[in-house]
């Protein structure tokens, strides 16, 4: 248990340059505190102490501002940075070495029982304010941009941005070609998120320019035909 606690603390040192001391991390990091609450709540849930599990989760929510249902399955190495308003639903599954920023929601769109929350595979980073809905799967080593809304499966080694989320391969590579160690698991500042809306506007601009050129050519042809019909040869009026 002590080894696990030391590893939890070390994760925050590795992923937060603002961390200065062990005591600071122990006392002032809600992302660390909620992990400990969740482990207890999850143990109670698995042993059918459902009320105690929910109560433990509720106390953790009140102290940290992070709500994790005791039924959620969380792998090792989870880091929740800042953490305020993070919500993780009952059937959510989180793999190893995942990082969530504040205001992330792993939610549901159905009221039926069963699998209804997202699954995050290993080494996924979810940006601040992102919303992932439904029993979707986010592939390993993927990045979800801030405020993205994701409602479809995401292949491994992808970047998702926008509303609704639009998926692009990381680093311009196809998912099968991407190098999983080219960017550290919890670092995405070096990763250039694609400006999907800007790309769409550029594409529309190119299409409009091409259509205007074609329209200008058609107008010239029609004008020449009209002159030829009226005066017998092209350009007679001029």
Each residue's pLDDT, cut to its tens digit, for the chain (238 residues) gives: 788 888 989 998 988 888 899 999 999 999 999 999 999 999 999 999 999 999 999 999 999 999 999 999 999 999 999 889 999 999 999 999 999 999 999 999 888 889 999 999 999 999 999 999 999 999 999 999 999 999 999 999 999 988 888 888 876 544 444 444 444 444 454 455 666 677 778 888 889 988 988 888 888 877 777 767 776 655 544 4
User: Per the structure block, which two tokens stand in for 83?
Assistant: 């953490």
Helix spans in the chain (H): 2-15, 22-28, 30-46, 50-64, 196-231
CB burial of 202-216 (b: ≥16 within 10 Å; e: otherwise) equals eeeeeeeeeeeeeee
Question: In angstroms, how far apart are the furthest CA atoms of the chain?
Answer: 98
129 CA to centre of own chain: 9
- pTM of whole model > 0.85? no
- Is the torsion defined by CA of 227, 228, 232, 234 positive or negative? positive
- State phi, psi for 51 to the nearest 5 degrees: -65, -45
Instruction: Sketch out the chain's domains with CATH numbers.
Output: 2-194 (2.160.10.10), 195-238 (no CATH)
User: Side by side, which strands form the sheet with 166-169?
Assistant: 79-80, 99-100, 125-126, 143-144, 158-161, 166-169
User: Side by side, which strands form the sheet with 93-94?
Assistant: 73-74, 93-94, 119-120, 137-138
């Amino acid at each position: 248990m002590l080894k696990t606690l030391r590893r939890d603390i070390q994760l925050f040192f590795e992923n937060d340059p603002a961390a200065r001391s062990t005591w600071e991390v122990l006392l002032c990091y809600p992302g660390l505190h909620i992990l400990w609450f969740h482990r207890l709540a999850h143990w109670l849930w698995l042993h059918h102490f459902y009320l105690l599990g929910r109560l433990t989760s509720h106390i953790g929510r009140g102290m940290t501002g992070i709500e994790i249902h005791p039924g959620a399955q969380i792998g090792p190495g989870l880091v929740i940075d800042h953490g305020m308003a993070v919500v993780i639903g009952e059937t959510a599954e989180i793999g190893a070495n995942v990082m969530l920023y504040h205001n992330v929601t792993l939610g549901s769109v159905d009221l039926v029982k069963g699998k209804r929350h997202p699954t995050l595979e290993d080494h996924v980073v979810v940006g601040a304010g992102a919303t992932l809905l439904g029993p979707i799967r986010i592939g390993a080593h993927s990045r979800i941009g801030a405020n993205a809304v994701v409602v479809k499966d995401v292949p491994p080694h992808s970047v998702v941005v926008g509303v609704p989320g639009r998926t692009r391969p990381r680093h311009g590579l196809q998912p099968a070609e991407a190098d999983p160690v080219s960017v550290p698991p919890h670092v995405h500042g070096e990763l250039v998120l694609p400006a999907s809306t800007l790309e769409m506007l550029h594409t529309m601009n190119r299409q409009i320019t091409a259509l205007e050129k074609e329209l200008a050519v058609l107008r010239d042809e029609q004008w020449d035909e009209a002159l030829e019909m009226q005066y017998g040869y092209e350009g007679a009026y001029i």
